[in-house]
Chains A and B, each alone.
Chain A
């Protein structure tokens, strides 16, 4: 693909490098000639010096033939404007980084009215990652479908889980959980699940679920050993706000320690369900007095990378809590990883990863009708989302009457606001978004699921 990246900062460079390695044509645009020089002499990409909101500059960067524009400068408004300008070329998809909480709350409007394909907020994305790490310590999110409403997760079946030796259909019948097991990885084998498949100890189970159903499911099968209730957050920055909101929504008990009095006032006003403590996290005694030894989760989110890493190391020594630290500088992140100070999250890297995933999916679905495509288990399984735009062979027919290809499963149907786990009598209708999981390769159309 031909990709233009506006903004040559941490995120810009990181995505430029990765996407170039995946053999895309990259042009970077930045105001700063020095940054462009550095980027173009490090990576095999082209650079244009200029303002990304100058249409002439975009034309010089080749907007007329570009497939995608990614605006990741430090300014939200500039990024959005850039994307709007890029849409002069109708075939150009756009991704904008928007970090102002106010704007990112309106991201659906930006997406629908302005036609921007993806809005990425690095802080918000990091908060989501952290919240997931804290809430489901055993589950790993793979990806999201239906514009983020449905998640694909996996977990490893341990001895104590009640799901062991159950059949897949029992999840609905006995556990009454609205989730869909789609694939099972058993040692080296891949099983596309059907109702009668048994779940065994040691399996890695991939399932689709709406976010709210996941927690219920985990509770039912007994993944509660490390269920986290109390979380202590050091530092009251933007990520803390997002994270706290996520956690308190899920019913967790959150304490935030922030050294600036005024900021504390603001936090208290903004986050009524959290406890705000005015104190310096760098003073470890204060952190201990706040009950570090008793919490289940600890997040070091101050503005100073080094402080976060120290806090994480100390916390590891004093408690058994799940520990997360935020690190902005990528080089420090690598070092922190080596120290094994819990999970290290860097906002720019998280944002870059989100963008890369989006681009990969876009690239895969460029010449097909696949809306979203993810490769799982080293690419041996594909999860594909189709939007049913018109009447076809599969529309209106109960699924049990469709002769599907082997190793193929219709996992999930989203119809408006409803999430449907399909059974034999379910039908696919026009306007649905359908998720298929399969080991078959190269499905381009929804009709391809039928065995000819």
Chain B
């Protein structure tokens, strides 16, 4: 276990975090807010600690899978702690547990809030909340890989640990070039969204924050009613971009290389779009009675489905008032989540569909015991170890879910609230149903429940195993 290398990279990360806090500080200066000082202090604290931590360069720079996992989980905990400093220093959030909940919710792109009145917050704090979504979306260590000149090892283990999906591959042979490529695509898409929102007349600050929230598939709004009070055109643009950011970035890479045919052929993309269309149709059929205008209904349903399946969590309508079937479908797509290799959370479309195929194969095996059948996805045979890791992942995920659900239920809220609160935390969505519905928030939960939900959010974003590693004693031993 190469702890000194882990420490060194975490040091870089703290420096990065400190530097990023200068952005909300600039926002604070522009709007002449008191919070500016808070960001200055927090930024300096992060820079100072980071500088101290990475002062001694490690001799052995090699890291392996184990270091990758540990590094990722430690990094996420560290940035969550550092990222919460501004909330506490500016006294926007008084309780440290709440501040950490809010920060983790930001970085993990959950978008679940404990704040009752976001409009009362300073602009710089609002900017920071949305900005954490943007950083966390593509992955903070991927950013470190893309930006800092780390050499001397194969950093694929870091990327594997941080990027979601059953099988993390590279776009180009070098990890660092892959990381750069991902960020270039990510930044480009974000800029396009900002421009589109600006052109259609949204104020600059709002378009920045909402684009960050969309890009990371986060969901922190800057108004108390989330997106509902924006113009319809803005809602549609955000809806489309949520879906775009939920697509596997490999598809964009193919498009970039003008391999349009292959991009369109992507099985996960097709599955993802199919799920979206089917969900919209079924919900539309069950909901239309509530709405007088069918187009408005369609717009709200489109937005809600996009927001939930990509695990963003923006809301234009209070779907808690929708019929049971609609709600059931929403909860189902909460679990399915976005594509692997996107910025979204959940179990991931490819995992779900590969599992479905496994079930089908088992059924076939009962019917025709002598048949040999291989499972294919994206035109390729899915290897046994990938299948196994998917099964194990889903089992672990369910166990984690049940334990969290039991712990959160201690608070004695309604079954639906607790169930959807954990669902929304572990899938990085944001809103749930009933007491955690789109018009409510998480502030009423007790401190222990909030801690459980915080861990759930981290576990969901990092796909559980890096977080589980922290609880395994052997991982901490040198030998």
Interface residues of A, Cβ cutoff 8 Å to B: 2, 25-27, 33, 40-46, 49
Roughly how many angstroms separate A59 CA and B76 CA in the complex, as a whole number?
38
Closest partner residue, chain B, to A61 (CB atom): B173
Q: Which residues of B contact A46 (CB under 8 A)?
A: 169-170, 172-173
Q: Report whether B154 and A25 are in contact in the complex, using a CB–CB cutoff of 8 Å.
A: no
- Asked if B383 is an interface residue, CB under 8 A from chain A, the answer is yes
* Cross-chain contact B173 with A44 (CB below 8 angstroms): yes
Q: Residue on A with the closest CB to B155?
A: A44
Asked if B174 and A44 make an inter-chain contact with CB atoms under 8 angstroms apart, the answer reads yes
Nearest Cβ on chain A to B121's Cβ, whole angstroms = 43
Q: Indicate if B156 sits at the interface (CB-CB under 8 A).
A: yes
Is the C-beta of B65 less than 8 angstroms from some C-beta in chain A? yes
In the complex formed, the residue of A with least CB distance to B384 is A33
Which residues in window 153-179 of B have CB below 8 A to A? 153-157, 169-170, 172-175, 177
Residues of B within 8 A of A33 (CB): 383
- Cβ-defined contact, A44 with B172, below 8 A: no
Task: List chain A residues, Cβ under 8 A from B173.
Answer: 2, 25-27, 44-46
- In the assembled complex, the CB of A304 is this many whole angstroms from the nearest CB of chain B, namely 33
Q: How far is the CA of A275 from the CA of B279 in the complex (A)?
A: 83
Given contacts A25-B173, A26-B173, A27-B173, is CB(A44)–CB(B156) below 8 Å? yes
Chain B residue with the shortest CB-CB distance to A33: B383
Give the CA-CA distance A25 to B170 in the complex, in Å. Answer: 12
A43 touches B154 (CB 8 A): yes
- Complex CA gap A46/B383 in Å reads 18
Bound state CA distance, A2 and B173, in angstroms? 9
Set of chain A residues within 8 Å of B169, measured between Cβ atoms = 46
* Interface hub of A26, A33, A46 (most chain B Cβ within 10 A): A46
How far, in whole Å, are A49 and B154 apart by their CA atoms in the complex?
20
Closest 3 CB pairs of A and B: A25-B173, A46-B173, A44-B154
Roughly how many angstroms separate A2 CA and B174 CA in the complex, as a whole number? 11
Report how far A40 CA is from B380 CA in the complex, Å: 19
Question: Residues 168-192 of chain B: 1 if any A CB is under 8 Å from the residue's CB, otherwise 0?
Answer: 0110111101000000000000000
CA distance A78 to B157 in the complex (A): 32
Query: Do residues B157 and A41 form an inter-chain contact, with CB atoms below 8 A?
Result: yes
Q: With a CB–CB cut-off of 8 A, which chain A residues contact B65?
A: 41
Give the residues in chain A near B174, CB-CB below 8 Å: 25, 44
**A4, closest chain B residue (CB):** B173
A27 to B173 CA separation, bound complex (whole angstroms): 6
Q: Are B154 and A42 in contact (CB under 8 A)?
A: yes
Q: How far is the CA of A46 from the CA of B177 in the complex (A)?
A: 12
When the two chains form their complex, are residues B157 and A25 in contact, meaning their CB atoms are under 8 A apart? no
Identity of the chain A residue whose Cβ is nearest the Cβ of B380 in the assembled complex? A49
Q: What residues of A have a CB within 8 angstroms of the CB of B155 in the complex?
A: 44
Q: In whole angstroms, what is the CA distance A40 to B173 when docked?
A: 9
A contact residues around B383 at 8 Å (CB): 33
B228 CB, nearest partner CB in chain A, Å: 45
- Chain A nearest CB, measured from B101 CB (Å): 35
> How many residues from B make CB contacts under 8 Å with A?
15
Mark contacts of B353-387 with chain A using CB atoms, 8 A cut-off: 1 yes-contact digit, 0 otherwise: 00000000000000000000000000010010000
Are B156 and A41 neighbours in the complex by a CB distance under 8 Å?
yes
A47 CB to closest chain B CB (Å) equals 9
In angstroms, Cα B172 to Cα A26, docked, is 9
- For chain B residues 129-165, which have a beta carbon within 8 Å of chain A? 153-157
Nearest A-chain residue to B153, judged by Cβ: A44
Rounded to whole angstroms, the CA-CA distance of A43 and B62 in the bound complex is 11
The complex places the Cα of A424 from the Cα of B90 at a distance, in Å, of 84
Tell me the minimal C-beta distance from B424 to chain A in angstroms.
34
The distance in angstroms between the C-alpha atoms of A46 and B159, with both chains bound, is 13
What is the distance, in angstroms, from A274's C-beta to the closest C-beta of chain B? 47
Residue contact B157 to A44, C-beta cutoff 8 Å: no
Residues on the A chain within 8 Å of B177, using CB: 25
Q: Which residue of A lies closest to B170 (CB)?
A: A46
Show 5 residue pairs from A and B whose CB-CB distance is below 8 angstroms, ordered by the A residue.
A33-B383, A44-B155, A44-B173, A46-B169, A46-B170
B297 smallest CB distance to A (angstroms):
44
A143 to B450, CA, bound (A): 69
Bound Cα distance from A33 to B169, whole angstroms: 13
Distance in Å from the Cβ of B242 to the closest Cβ of chain A?
Answer: 30
Docked pose: A44 CA to B64 CA in angstroms: 12
A27 partner residues in chain B, CB cutoff 8 A: 173
Q: Give every chain B residue within 8 A of A41 (Cβ-Cβ).
A: 65, 154, 156-157
Query: A26 contacts which chain B residues (CB < 8 A)?
Result: 173
Cross-interface CB contact of A25 among B153, B156, B172, B380, cutoff 8 Å: B172
Residues of B within 8 A of A49 (CB): 380
Kindly provide the distance from the CB of A235 to the nearest chain B CB, expressed in whole angstroms: 38
Contact residues in B for A2 (Cβ distance below 8 Å): 173
Whole-angstrom distance between the Cβ of A15 and the nearest chain B Cβ: 14
Which residues does chain B contribute within 8 Å of A42, judged by CB atoms?
154
- Distance in Å: Cβ of B352 to nearest Cβ of chain A: 23
B156 neighbours in A (Cβ, 8 Å)? 40-41, 44
Closest Cβ of chain B to A35, distance in Å, is: 12
Shortest distance from the beta carbon of A45 to any chain B beta carbon, whole Å: 5
Nearest CB of chain B from residue A58's CB, rounded to whole Å = 15
Q: Complex: how many Å from CA A41 to CA B170? A: 11
A-contact 0/1 string along B44-86, CB 8 Å cutoff: 0000000000000000000001000000000000000000000
Q: How far is the CA of A2 from the CA of B154 in the complex (A)?
A: 18
Please, which residues of chain A bring their CB within 8 A of the CB of B153?
Answer: 44
Q: Which residue of A lies closest to B171 (CB)?
A: A46
**Inside 8 A of A43's CB, which chain B residues have their CB?**
154
Chain B residues closer than 8 Å to A45, beta-carbon distance = 173
CA–CA, A44 and B154, complex, Å: 5
- Determine the residue in chain A with the shortest Cβ distance to B64: A41
A118 CA / B455 CA spacing, docked (Å): 57
State the Cβ distance, A25 to closest chain B Cβ, in Å: 4
Within the complex, what minimum Cβ distance (angstroms) separates B183 from chain A? 18
Given contacts A40-B156, A43-B154, A46-B172, 6 further A-B contacts (CB under 8 A): A26-B173, A42-B154, A44-B154, A44-B155, A44-B173, A46-B170
Instruction: Name the A residues within 8 Å of B170 (CB-CB).
Output: 46
Give the Cβ gap from B90 to chain A, nearest Cβ, in Å.
42
Cα A274 to Cα B153 in complex, Å, equals 50
- Given the complex of chains A and B, what is the CA–CA distance between A26 and B383 in angstroms? 23
* Chain A residues whose C-beta falls within 8 Å of the C-beta of B380 in the assembled complex: 49
Q: How far is the CB of A67 from chain B (nearest CB, A)?
A: 13
Question: Nearest chain-B residue to A27 (Cβ)?
Answer: B173
A62 to chain B, nearest CB (A): 8
CA–CA, A369 and B170, complex, Å: 34
A49 to B378, CA, bound (A): 14
Measured CB to CB, the closest approach of chain A to B376, in angstroms, equals 13
CB distance from B7 to the nearest CB of A (A): 22
Complex contacts, B154 vs chain A, CB 8 Å? 41-44
Contacts of B172 in A (CB 8 A): 25, 46
- Considering the chains assembled together, what is the distance between the CA atoms of A222 and B444 in angstroms? 96
CB distance from B86 to the nearest CB of A (A): 36
Query: CA of A40 to CA of B177 in the docked complex: distance in angstroms?
Result: 15
A49 CB, nearest partner CB in chain B, Å: 8
Q: Closest residue to A26 on the B side, CB-wise? A: B173
Interface string of B317-344 (1 = CB under 8 A from A): 0000000000000000000000000000
Alpha-carbon distance between A33 and B173 when the two chains are bound, in angstroms: 17
Residues of chain B in range 89-134 having any CB-CB distance to chain A below 8 Å: none
Find residues 275-298 in chain B having any chain A CB closer than 8 Å to their own CB: none
